Amino acid sequence: MANTARGDQADSTQPPVGRQERAQYEAVPASAPALTPVEDRQWAFMAHCGGILGFIPSLIIYLVFRERGPFTAQESKEALNFTVPPTIVAAVANIMAVLLAGVAPLAGTVFAFLAVAIWIFLTVYSVIAAVQVNRGQPYRYLWSLRLIH
């Protein structure tokens, strides 16, 4: 007796298990295409806007797009050089604020205000730079360590 409820008969539309066809994928070129002038300016703008969040956005943009657009390479490097030191200082200030909050609340508050002041500083100068770069003009921060050349 054949058990038709289990479907003992093979379904002819399904390939046998273990013999499925491999999916075909198109190859991706080894080098990505160069950015158009509009895209180059857009990514340079985003690198400076990323300064509001610290150095991570400009680092990612620098690593991904530095070989695809000269303006993006220049401006993301500038934004990265500007944002690395304040981001590190703000991170340390935040850690100190948390650690000292229970032991010395006044000291914790001072470190918290320092972290906020650094964030405001980064935000203001990042927006100023982003506006100028969006106009197609390069921007050079006055206070910037040239860590990446």
- pLDDT tens string, the chain, 149 residues long: the values are 555 555 555 555 665 565 556 656 665 456 778 888 899 999 999 999 999 999 999 999 999 998 999 999 999 999 999 999 999 999 999 999 999 988 888 988 999 999 999 999 999 999 999 999 999 999 998 877 777 77
Query: Helix, strand, or coil here: 130?
Result: helix
- Whether 47 is in a domain gets the answer yes
- Whether 129 is in a domain gets the answer yes
- Whether 8 is in a domain gets the answer no
Chain-centre distance for alpha carbon 2: 61
Query: CA 71 to CA 39: how far, in whole Å?
Result: 10
Q: Which domain holds residue 115?
A: 37-134
- Whether 29 is in a domain gets the answer no
The domain tally of the chain equals 1
- Whether 6 is in a domain gets the answer no
Query: CA 1 to CA 8: how far, in whole Å?
Result: 11
Q: Are 129 and 50 in contact (CB under 8 A)?
A: no
Roughly what angle, to the nearest 10 degrees, separates helices 70-103 and 56-65?
A: 150
CB atoms within 10 A of CB 117: 13
- Whether 149 is in a domain gets the answer no
Q: How many residues does the chain have?
A: 149
- Whether 94 is in a domain gets the answer yes
State if pTM tops 0.85: no
- Whether 20 is in a domain gets the answer no
Q: Report which residue type is found at 61.
A: I
